[in-house]
Amino acid sequence: MFKGSIVALVTPMTETGEIHYPSLQQLVEFHVKAGTAGLVAVGTTGESATLPIEEHIQVVKKVVEYAAGRIPVISGSGANSTDEAIELSQASAEVGADGLLSVVPYYNKPQQRGLIAHFEKVADACELPLILYNVPSRTVTDMLPETVAALSAHPRIVGLKDATGDLNRLRQMQTMLPEDFVLLSGDDATGCEFMLAGGHGVISVTANIVPDRMAKLCAAATSGQAELAREIDAGIAALHDALFIEPNPVMPKWVLYKMGLIPCPTLRLPMVEAELIHQKAIEQVMRDAGLLS
List residues forming the annotated binding site for pyruvate: 45, 203
Beta bridge partners of 204: 7
161 is catalytic: yes
Q: What one-letter code names the amino acid at 214?
A: M
CA–CA distance, 52 with 106 (Å, rounded to integer) = 17
Q: How many residues does the chain have?
A: 293
Binding-site residues sit at 45, 203
Closest CA to 238 of 285, 176, 169: 285
Q: Which of 61, 66, 133, 253 is catalytic?
A: 133
- Residue 99 · residue 123 · CB < 8 Å: no
133 is catalytic: yes
Q: Which of 3, 61, 161, 253 is catalytic?
A: 161
Q: What share of the chain is helix, strand, coil (3-state, %, to 5)?
A: 50, 15, 40
Within the chain, residue ranges assigned H as helices are 21-34, 53-67, 82-94, 112-125, 136-139, 145-151, 167-174, 188-196, 211-222, 226-242, 250-258, 276-288
Q: Which residues are catalytic?
A: 133, 161
